[in-house]
Structure 1
């Protein structure tokens, strides 16, 4: 602390003392008046205007009164000074004769160094005197007007501008990128939402003040300026530095991916919202390169590889330039996806143990009784899953008083069998290739192109581990044919043995729907046929040349729910203890509905729901057992007798035409693998006496298998699907879909015998994926491929790239990141949700219409000699007839598999069904024409 020296001469002032104040005109200056002025001027040390002001090293020492005055002041006073602070200030100013603002202006003047000791503490961060001073001025209308005038002056504007500039300078580094190459998949995935309210509060406050009135700020609850202000902040950052291009680049991708024109993107760039159009294309290429790097890194480890063809319509107006030069109306290529396998281990993925199992000379092949008939555990599981489906239908159409969510009983829930790991399934699309996989050679070429040319991997290293591949049946068939062609090549990659194949579950459901529509179609004049229900539900599109899968699936489920709902009403009526037998027998549809609602409101026990579901399944859904002799009914020796023996006659013809070995096998016994099991009603309910009733049972039973397949995929339970695989094979074989039956047999054989347990689990868990990571939103691996292809095609069509394929490869590789950008931009700007998928609609009226028709026609009851029964056609029991055919030809399948392992050509299967007539999506109209007679049911998808 600097101390002031005492004056050696009487009357001299100490250094730093205030100068004597001027004497007003007419006054008389005396020593006492000077001293009094000094004392009053320095009184701030004890509560005056300078109270609390300290120097750098402590309280500033100032000159005081003379020794005599000090002695006088040291004497105790009789009364304290009771003046208030405003009175003291007023007296001080009156005595000093100087304006207080002159004092303040003098002290804060930076050109006067003698007052630095006052300025320094006055401007310190912990001193709020200046803030209080300005706040006090702003509370005065006149003071506020003066402050506004200064702020809007050139000096004030510069002051505010400097403050904003400093805030933006501090904000800028967090948004600076080196260039478009920094827009990587990791950047897109991990980038956090902007928070300018915290990062730039002053600038945001000014923008908010400009964006809304005081009344709007106080009263508006929905409309806020946040989005506009945040957008302006992003524009300002991009204007300050073209390196702050995170949002502009992503917004440019967003505009490009949503179909905006070049002019629109350039206009957005001019407004500071987007990068230039050419920069968008450059950034897309760089992003695609990053994505391909991730795919290559994934392919270097344990992974699965799936691919399918992609077809793009060019134009219906094609200039004919001769047979060889005329461009096609549809151009085709191949698109692949790489899936990492995080749970795979080197021991599990070894290829050699799989090949050893395939080449095992002691392997006898599949056995019908051992491998294709359900075990007691599988049978119990299948029946339980079916019962849960029936109970869910009860819950869906019961009164609001009942809800299945109130029950916490495992018997009312699907029993888990083998659930895939939870969480999001990562996957990496790769560039679209112009190589078509629509042939065996095309498959071989595409595989070489991807793994050697695109990924740059060593074939020798690839030959050590297996690569799972999930595709549709036709692609798998071509891959197997390529394996036969390359059987003598130098390593297992070139022999293509590294690819271990499994059936795409979506294509299985797709072909199952097609088989059911074909087999159960019948005539519109015959009750309970597909054609009949099309008329009832007015599903005209299903009568078209190429209906879409989702419409057909929903149609079948509506029939199932309507029939089951009617059966629930019947069960609730029959098991109502308060009704007499006569009341039950003569009950009307209204009374049955009341019994149903009464039971639902009674809070039934879980065990009672299960008991009723079991009764419903066996009484109304299980097909009636077929008689195996023609002696059951002599009066039906006409068309009905022919109908009842139709399956046996066709079976004999099938066995003879399938292959030469089949004719030497013993005649197969009736299948015992009926699921659900036959009812114990004996032969009194002869299905030939009421073909309509039996046809309805068969249709509902087959639809239950379809529902279980789709539901198990959605739940991510591959074990439930594995339980029903043998019966799906029988249904496909019974419907004439021989290729899909064979594909399922290959899968069953591999799961049981070819693949070691750990690798079999890897294959199981990659057949179902969850791209969203949301529980209960699982997808079959092949439908994820179809969805991704649709996204690519939609974007290509929006950009008008169908004819040139420009940037198609970049789009396909970066498609998932473009989707993520669209999702995040929509979230940042709070755009309305754009759902391209279907929305669940209320189909309750259609289901009730089915239930009403079932009640009107008495379709739940087997009526002997129902009217029109003689002319009605019996629908085949696909499960039973398919089981007979598989039993008769299983030896042939085993022989063909041995030939396949040995590299001998296998004769192809021929389907008895017409080529697939279902579109994957309703808008699919760019598929190439079917010119290959050997194409199977997937021909329209290839």
Structure 2
């Protein structure tokens, strides 16, 4: 591997035939040939002349004439080898003689020449005897020499395609490699080599019978290994495979084996490459934070006014109208997306258009949020001291820990610091406890704690689970549905493993079954297909009626106004379930679509639910958020938090938005599982150093999976057979008439608590708002002491 860049600055000879060189590529002693010598330009006249002569031969004439020619050669005291050598540029006289030139051109451009070469290589067997040896060995040696020279030339021509100098080690350089484009380039640059390797990897018989297998990537890998064997600077593919397989957790021993085969770079190179990617990522983020707005997330202002509670409790007419519109649209499209409506002829009717987003984040590549992973720290964050140590270490890594940078942060910067509820609670506690410190940095005046929506969604799902779990005997309850659908592990709430993912899927399926049963009941039909006779306008009107009758506070109030003997406890229970679960489904949809306006419209419902279902910490978080949005934050800060601190997208595509704390959970999974360090050198120090390279590893891994079509395997959480399960539950609910009003029917089990109503009452009557406001109200110092003595104290790490 030492010929390196020898070929970079030379122009290779063309692959066309050049008669100033012999078959070994050495310059011949022949003089320049006449311009009219048709050596490389076949003329049809030669073929026609040969064919005419052959047509004039009579049976038996050929042998007679051949014997006569051989006799003439004998008389001239030469034999066939001397004669053929003379014809084919044997000496200068024969080269320039027109008669010999014509004979030579006839032979070189004849149809007979390939046939003759074939018979020399594979002579026909004599009748009853052995096959003659012919010129097989000579032709094989000659062909090997020709092919070797051609392969060597083509390898040099194609070599620049595999170049990857050390200075090009970057995420962009690695992910810009398109294997399909590179394959086409190599095929054009080295056609003979490509054909040989293709034939070695794929027989004509395979090609005839197998229409799916394609050996192109195998051939490209063969060329790559050969190029890398010639020079370690031609490791463009080897580098990409190395980073990708390191990201997939390949062991060091396997690395060494594959490196010996020329498939990968060495394990040492790969480890150093990860360090380089991490270092460059850190330098980039250290530079970007001085150019662009940024927020910080980590996991495991004088207060003068409070939220005007009447607005929260009673909402606004505009928000109520929007919520009703989105709810109607949701149940309407649930019907349209059912299998029974797959062939509905009016699907494109404007009546089915979704309502416009309240405030949707813009998509596109220009709005992709770029996330950086900092070095993993060994500090715990469960305590205030641990959280403060994490913050100090974050500033150290970002090079914001100098006295000058601390002063800029305290006076000029606003940093949204995001995390799960525990993290945000610790941050807010620090912000409170340090309210009398000596300068704005130490008081954390720069910080806006922002909770993560992913953990809030999980809390929302858990509150519904708590409210409607019930027991197996209660038709419609979550537990009964889990039993019918054979969903395991959903009885006891858990914060570990796939519990929330499984619960989320179950809530979607169960709620769809309930709402389908409502469609059947309101239409007085046995199958949703019977509704296809309805016009789009009629279906939209029915959807609005469905919400009012089966999923609204209005329906529950009508029930409460009835006498006890007239009420239907079953109908009341599952009407409340529909009313409670739809906001959860809308929140999930709004997050995925990036509609921050709809998320904000849902805040009052979230506040009441958490206040009434025993989630006091999230009650405080919603109160803090409402206080900031509606009272404390200036418009630019309010917009910044909503637009850049709630949701992010890594692709810019529609429905690709996710909460920041979910992205952080993915980072943690990558550090602990997907890209974990292995072996005796996998220390916390080493883990910390390579963590910044994780975004690059992720992009490289996705790039390789896309190149080879393996991106679908294991990338998504498996979803049970939705239609089968929803249909089964719908049958159960219809048979039990859960959504049919039957006066006097009693619920056989205890009725679920109305968390939303209880939450509103608790907030209004139990002084929850006042108590929260008193705890957070305190005078904050406004001084700015930046003396050197004070800075020495502030810069000391906490123990």
Relative to the length of structure 2, the TM-score reads 0.78
CA distance in structure 1 between the partners assigned to 2:135 and 2:471 by the alignment: 89
CA distance in structure 1 between the partners assigned to 2:432 and 2:340 by the alignment: 60
CA distance in structure 2 between the partners assigned to 1:724 and 1:425 by the alignment: 24
Shift, 1:742, TM fit: 1.7
Instruction: Pick closer, same or farther for the CA change 1:419–1:136 going to 2, 3 Å.
Output: farther
CA distance in structure 2 between the partners assigned to 1:52 and 1:730 by the alignment: 97
1:461 matches 2:408:
yes
Instruction: Pick closer, same or farther for the CA change 1:130–1:167 going to 2, 3 Å.
Output: farther
Shift, 1:565, TM fit: 0.9
CA distance in structure 2 between the partners assigned to 1:86 and 1:851 by the alignment: 83
CA distance in structure 1 between the partners assigned to 2:87 and 2:490 by the alignment: 92
CA distance in structure 2 between the partners assigned to 1:879 and 1:696 by the alignment: 15
Instruction: Pick closer, same or farther for the CA change 1:832–1:129 going to 2, 3 Å.
Output: farther
Match among 486, 498, 505 for residue 446 of structure 2: 498
Counterpart residue number, 2:386: 442
1:777 matches 2:777:
no
Match among 759, 762, 768 for residue 882 of structure 1: 759
CA distance in structure 1 between the partners assigned to 2:774 and 2:618 by the alignment: 18
Between structure 1 and structure 2, the one with the greater Rg is 1
Contact 1:691 1:873 in 2 (8 A): no
Contact 1:565 1:851 in 2 (8 A): yes
Shift, 1:185, TM fit: 1.4
Counterpart residue number, 2:732: 853
**What is the number of equivalent residue pairs in this alignment?**
693
Structure with the largest fraction of helix: 2
Counterpart residue number, 2:503: 552
Instruction: Pick closer, same or farther for the CA change 1:237–1:113 going to 2, 3 Å.
Output: farther
Counterpart residue number, 1:182: 168
Match among 391, 395, 408 for residue 451 of structure 1: 395
Instruction: Pick closer, same or farther for the CA change 1:837–1:103 going to 2, 3 Å.
Output: same
1:163-312 to 2 correspondence within 5 Å?
163-179=150-166, 182-193=168-179, 194-195=182-183, 196-309=186-299
1:508-657 to 2 correspondence within 5 Å?
508-526=456-474, 528-544=476-492, 546=494, 548-573=499-524, 592-594=525-527, 596-600=528-532, 602=533, 604-623=534-553
Match among 391, 396, 402 for residue 332 of structure 2: 391
Counterpart residue number, 2:18: none
Contact 1:529 1:695 in 2 (8 A): no
Greater CA deviation, 395-404 or 444-453? 395-404
Contact 1:309 1:438 in 2 (8 A): no
CA distance in structure 1 between the partners assigned to 2:473 and 2:779 by the alignment: 48
Instruction: Pick closer, same or farther for the CA change 1:452–1:260 going to 2, 3 Å.
Output: closer
Q: Which runs of 5+ in 1 are unaligned?
A: 1-48, 56-82, 123-127, 311-354, 574-591, 627-677, 904-942
CA distance in structure 2 between the partners assigned to 1:136 and 1:430 by the alignment: 72
Match among 315, 322, 330 for residue 374 of structure 1: 315
1:138 matches 2:114:
yes
CA distance in structure 1 between the partners assigned to 2:111 and 2:554 by the alignment: 92
1:476-491 to 2 correspondence within 5 Å?
476-489=424-437, 491=439
Instruction: Pick closer, same or farther for the CA change 1:814–1:441 going to 2, 3 Å.
Output: same
Shift, 1:110, TM fit: 9.6
Greater CA deviation, 225-234 or 141-150? 141-150
Instruction: Pick closer, same or farther for the CA change 1:50–1:144 going to 2, 3 Å.
Output: farther
CA distance in structure 2 between the partners assigned to 1:816 and 1:268 by the alignment: 25
Instruction: Pick closer, same or farther for the CA change 1:496–1:54 going to 2, 3 Å.
Output: same
Shift, 1:787, TM fit: 2.0
Instruction: Pick closer, same or farther for the CA change 1:611–1:137 going to 2, 3 Å.
Output: same
Shift, 1:754, TM fit: 3.0
CA distance in structure 1 between the partners assigned to 2:671 and 2:93 by the alignment: 73
Instruction: Pick closer, same or farther for the CA change 1:530–1:832 going to 2, 3 Å.
Output: closer
CA distance in structure 2 between the partners assigned to 1:608 and 1:551 by the alignment: 36
Shift, 1:709, TM fit: 0.6
Greater CA deviation, 96-105 or 838-847? 96-105
Secondary structure at the residue paired with 1:899?
coil
CA distance in structure 2 between the partners assigned to 1:625 and 1:686 by the alignment: 15
Contact 2:677 2:687 in 1 (8 A): no
Contact 2:175 2:703 in 1 (8 A): no
Contact 1:185 1:290 in 2 (8 A): no
1:724 matches 2:671:
no
Contact 2:120 2:135 in 1 (8 A): yes
Secondary structure at the residue paired with 1:858?
coil
Secondary structure at the residue paired with 2:298?
strand
For residues 489-522 of structure 1, give each alpha carbon's deviation from its aligned partner in whole angstroms, at most 9, with x where no partner exists: 4544333222223231111110111122223334
Shift, 1:230, TM fit: 1.1
Greater CA deviation, 240-249 or 713-722? 240-249
Shift, 1:876, TM fit: 2.7
Secondary structure at the residue paired with 1:191?
coil
Secondary structure at the residue paired with 1:420?
coil
For residues 623-670 of structure 1, give each alpha carbon's deviation from its aligned partner in whole angstroms, at most 9, with x where no partner exists: 4677xxxxxxxxxxxxxxxxxxxxxxxxxxxxxxxxxxxxxxxxxxxx
Shift, 1:840, TM fit: 2.8
Secondary structure at the residue paired with 1:541?
coil
Secondary structure at the residue paired with 2:297?
strand
Contact 2:436 2:781 in 1 (8 A): no
Contact 1:431 1:810 in 2 (8 A): yes
Q: What is the RMSD computed on CA atoms of the aligned residues?
A: 3.8
CA distance in structure 2 between the partners assigned to 1:208 and 1:297 by the alignment: 48
Counterpart residue number, 2:613: 735
CA distance in structure 1 between the partners assigned to 2:188 and 2:136 by the alignment: 26
For residues 353-398 of structure 1, give each alpha carbon's deviation from its aligned partner in whole angstroms, at most 9, with x where no partner exists: xx4xx55x5xx42112235532222111101111122112212335
CA distance in structure 2 between the partners assigned to 1:565 and 1:371 by the alignment: 32
Shift, 1:241, TM fit: 0.4
Contact 1:796 1:808 in 2 (8 A): no
Shift, 1:245, TM fit: 2.1
Shift, 1:724, TM fit: 0.9
CA distance in structure 2 between the partners assigned to 1:54 and 1:519 by the alignment: 93
Match among 32, 36, 40 for residue 52 of structure 1: 36
Match among 137, 141, 146 for residue 159 of structure 1: 146
CA distance in structure 2 between the partners assigned to 1:263 and 1:736 by the alignment: 52
Secondary structure at the residue paired with 1:769?
strand
Contact 2:296 2:415 in 1 (8 A): no
Relative to the length of structure 1, the TM-score reads 0.67
CA distance in structure 1 between the partners assigned to 2:160 and 2:467 by the alignment: 67
CA distance in structure 2 between the partners assigned to 1:728 and 1:835 by the alignment: 33
Contact 1:714 1:778 in 2 (8 A): yes
Instruction: Pick closer, same or farther for the CA change 1:242–1:117 going to 2, 3 Å.
Output: farther
Q: Which runs of 5+ in 2 are unaligned?
A: 1-32, 40-47, 57-64, 123-133, 783-799
